[in-house]
Chains A and B, each alone.
Chain A
Amino acid sequence: MVAASHDHLYILSKLIGKDFKIRYRNMSLGIFWSLLNPLIMVAVLTYVFTQIYKSNIHSYPLFVLIGLIPFNFFTLAWATGANSILDNAALVKKVRFHREVIPLSVVLGNVIHFLIQMLLLMLLIVAFGQGVNRQWLWLPVVLGLEIIFVCGMALAFSALDVYYRDIRYVVDSANLVLFWLVPIFYDFDDVPRDYRLLYELNPVAAVVLACRSIFLRATAPHETLVWKLTLVSFAALAVGLLLFGRMKRRFADYL
């Protein structure tokens, strides 16, 4: 069949390159927006939670940034990934290639920004925080699992979005809720025991908690947390691939 002869890695790289180029080509600050954006958020949150609500968290800006970067990656990649098939309706209707490439290219495009932001975070931690420690070796594992999780979510929701156009509002609302229910600007230790279950199964919260213990306490993430994150991430990927695979046959009819 035709699709088998396609060089899908090449298509993937070209689609990622396209998104990257059109996003920054006409901006004078270019890629620096990727860095400026979380820094602005950190400044605002730091103002609110050190000047208005007196938080007693040590080095608050770094604390917030560690939560914000994995959260931002998740929300952006999930939201743009979920819309990706609809956004590329013309391609899906007219060209034959594995459709999975579309949401995956969107997620991987966001990974580039994510990694740039993580690099900035590491520099800031070396400059103002605790410096490098051995537990940083956990970072590729934790971030890799988050990427896998987002790939699964983007696949599943981009396929559903074709049939149920409400999905984009569901995703937007969920992201809004997550900002408050992921420990970004507060400490997980302050969460009452009754509500902890809300966090235990949330992979985004798990990634934030893991990053905090690596960067701020120089301790390895909890073993159970890593296992849960692994399980949920691969389950999300499996469900995403399965759902997408079943639904993609009729994409062209619904676009």
Chain B
Amino acid sequence: MNLLELHDIGKRYFLHHKRQLLAQRVAGAIRRDRNSFWALRHVSLSIEAGESVGIVGANGAGKSTLLSIAVGVSAPTEGTVVQRGRVAALLELGSGFHPDLTGAENIELNAALLGYTRAQVEQAFDSIVDFAAIPDFIDEPLRTYSTGMIARLGFSVAVHVDPDILVLDEVLAVGDQEFQKKCMEKILEFHRCGKTLLFVSHSSQAVESLCQRAVWLDQGAVHRDGPAHDVLAEYRSSLNGVDVVPA
């Protein structure tokens, strides 16, 4: 069964940097000559249950636009999106985090936004704190945390959602190496449990280690879609053998 289907998706953005004044807006609306460009056009993608799909491509290829449409944060200009099952979208870590709230308060707020119910938060709370490995700081305000600790807390909340599809946008480039390894293991374990993964990254290495299938986006269209090994080899050679170093 397909958990996620994108049919002929197009996304058009208007360039309106010169059209902010009322007079210009009215004139633009009447003439209908607004500058626009298609960030995505004619993109179709189906993801089956249990698949792990990585999306690669250069800056501006449409990766992030595709993800935000897939998870329903932004609406496509054309085409349809079908979602089945529970999607956990991690387009950033620590959504809603506030520096003046304590770690515990931030966990609750972030978890609520990611779709936890009150009961689920209570149940997962200890395990979230445990995984983030910051027990001594949990009642301190977030502003006393290091960047790495904040990232660990954000990731820890995210991986406890227990969704059918986990959608990740390059959020692995955080924390120290040990924590990155822990994150990778958690994601792989998640995939081994039969869950579905959709992952976007500049790093073809990260995609290769997590995904079986890869989609190469180029200028808003699907350039190649197939087994990760083949697609990534081609992607790398197009970059003149220079792989993008993880940030």
Chain A contact residues, CB within 8 Å of chain B: 1-3, 5-7, 10-11, 14-15, 17-18, 21-22, 25-26, 90-97, 165, 249-250, 252-253
Contact = CB atoms under 8 A, between A and B. Distances in A.
B68 A95 contact: no
Main SS class of interface, A:
helix
User: Which of A6, A7, A25, A96: most chain B CB closer than 10 A?
Assistant: A96
A159 to B, nearest CB: 15
A5 B115 CA distance: 7
Shortest 3 CB-CB contacts between residues of A and residues of B: A252-B74, A7-B117, A14-B112
Interface string B77-117: 00000010011010110011010110001001100111111
B86 A10 contact: no
B91 A3 contact: no
Contacts of A3: 72
Given A15-B109, A96-B73, A253-B13, A2 B95 contact: no
Nearest to A12: B112
Given A1-B83, A14-B108, A21-B101, A249 B75 contact: yes
Contacts of A14: 108-109, 112-113
21 contacts: A1-B72, A1-B83, A2-B71, A2-B83, A2-B115, A6-B115, A7-B118, A10-B116, A14-B109, A18-B96, A18-B105, A21-B100, A21-B105, A91-B113, A94-B91, A95-B73, A95-B91, A96-B72, A96-B73, A252-B73, A253-B13
B86 A25 contact: no
B198 to A, nearest CB: 14
Interface string B175-199: 0000000000000000000000000
Contact of B100 (A22, A95, A165): A22
A52 B71 CA distance: 62
A94 B88 CA distance: 11
Contacts of B116: 7, 10
A7 B112 CA distance: 7
Contacts of B100: 21-22, 25-26
Given A14-B112, A18-B98, A252 B68 contact: yes
B105 to A, nearest CB: 7
Given A91-B96, A252-B68, A253-B13, A10 B117 contact: yes
Contacts of B109: 14-15, 17-18
Contacts of B87: 2
A10 B121 CA distance: 11
Contacts of A21: 100-101, 105
Main SS class of interface, B:
loop
A11 B89 CA distance: 16
B72 A2 contact: yes
B117 A96 contact: no
A90 B105 CA distance: 19
Nearest to A11: B112
User: Which of A1, A15, A165: most chain B CB closer than 10 A?
Assistant: A1
Given A7-B112, A22-B98, A95-B96, A253 B74 contact: yes
A246 to B, nearest CB: 12
A180 to B, nearest CB: 27
A93 B91 CA distance: 9
Nearest to A3: B72
A95 B89 contact: yes
Contact of B113 (A1, A11, A17, A93): A11
A89 B118 CA distance: 25
Contacts of B118: 7, 10
Contacts of B98: 18, 22
Contacts of B74: 93, 250, 252-253
Contacts of A97: 113, 115
User: Which of A10, A91, A93: most chain B CB closer than 10 A?
Assistant: A10
Nearest to B108: A14
Interface in B46-94: 68, 71-75, 83, 86-87, 89, 91-92
Given A2-B72, A21-B105, A22-B100, A94 B92 contact: yes
Contacts of A252: 68, 73-75
B89 A96 contact: yes
Nearest to A251: B74
Given A2-B71, A250-B75, A95 B101 contact: no
